[in-house]
Amino acid sequence: MLAAPLAFPAEKPPHITRTIDEPLFDPARHLAPTRPERDWTLEEFGYDAATRARTASPVAITSPFRVLSEEGAAALQGVLRALKADRHIATGRRLSVFLTGGVYRSRFLRDLVNAPELVEHFSRIAGTELAPHSIPHFQAYVNYAPDDPTKAVDTWHVDSLGYDAVMMVSDPTKLKGGRFQFFRGTFQEAMALVGASDEQELTNGWAQDLPEDRIESVAFPGAGWAAFMQGDFIFHRAAKLEEPGERITLVPGYMARDLRYPDRVKSRGMQGWRDKHLMTEVTRYAAWLGREKLARLIEELRFQDADDRRGLAEKLEAAVADVLRIAQEMREGAAKQGKE
């Protein structure tokens, strides 16, 4: 039983009010998806069987492939250039310039990342049924290059979700530097190299140099090309620019519809994020997880299970475990915020 995707919120956050002039998204005109020439598997990266069993897909990351037509790339460039006025400039260890809430700010962007044709294409690449992420924050993350090329575009990190893509929106052939790079190894190896204590901490920005022979630099042929990956398994970064230039990337996020696997969202770390609408999204996500897992349990229960009360209790507890865990994380986050 595959989870039914969570419907997009009926209203947008009240602090997002600005509108932009944008085209209507048309998949026939704006999409031109191709298959990647190759992919690397989690096993090739060195992940053991126990870690690989946490995910529905064997794919670690792919080589670049086209997603958008030339018209689609030009349209998305226009949208994200207009949205740059709403960008945030980070002061921490991660992104220097970024945009969140893009799916609330642009209908074109929302329709693009939710397009059934695109979701199906990514699903075929992953080898499992995907859906637009149930936390809209993850559906369309946008990175812009800082004006100061001495600052990192994005330092080494893993993502806080399972499946995403890195799409070049500006023309990468016009840039000096700013390459997307990934570490050919496990996140456990990355933790040891940078001194992270756990997977959650690995989402923070890490500026340490990694062994050069373990780093893969990705050459995107042009705007509208992307690499698909399981972002929480891949330690990656955007290298510094060597001179100022326009570098815009879109990171659309997805999740597996097969909920038999562990939840991939690093919601504990999200408690410190400052987005005004985020905790409502996280609460909706937790409620959706519980609803879908309870629905699956209802379908799977059989009368011959009636005498196994302990087993039934464990199944009920497992169905709502994510709800209770995320609720506790939110309580701890509120308590920490109150002390600051």
Per-residue pLDDT of the chain (340 residues; tens, 9 = 90+): 799 999 999 999 999 999 999 999 999 999 999 999 999 999 999 999 999 999 999 999 999 999 999 999 999 999 999 999 999 877 777 778 999 999 999 999 999 999 999 999 999 999 999 999 999 999 999 999 998 888 889 999 999 999 999 999 999 999 999 999 999 999 999 999 999 999 999 999 899 999 999 999 999 999 999 999 999 999 999 999 999 999 999 999 999 999 999 999 999 999 988 888 999 999 999 999 999 999 999 999 999 999 999 999 999 999 999 999 999 999 999 998 876 5
Residues 304 and 167 in one domain: no
Residue 161 placed within a domain: yes
Sign of CA dihedral 71, 22, 111, 236: positive
What is the Cα 218 distance to its own chain's centre? 18
Domain that holds residue 310: 282-339
This prediction's pTM: 0.95
- In a 13 Å sphere around the CA of 69, the CA atoms on its Cβ side amount to 11
Which residues, listed in sequence order, are joined to residue 248 by a DSSP beta bridge? 144
C-beta of residue 261 within 8 angstroms of C-beta of residue 54: yes
The CATH number of residue 68's host domain is 2.60.120.620
Phi, psi angles (nearest 5°) of residue 298: -60, -40
Structural domain count of the chain: 2
Residue 327 placed within a domain: yes
Residues 172 and 244 in one domain: yes
What is the Cα 24 distance to its own chain's centre? 24
Residues 116 and 250 in one domain: yes
Residues 174 and 321 in one domain: no
Residue 272 placed within a domain: no
Q: What span, in angstroms and rounded, lies between the C-alpha atoms of 100 and 79?
A: 14
Residues 99 and 212 in one domain: yes
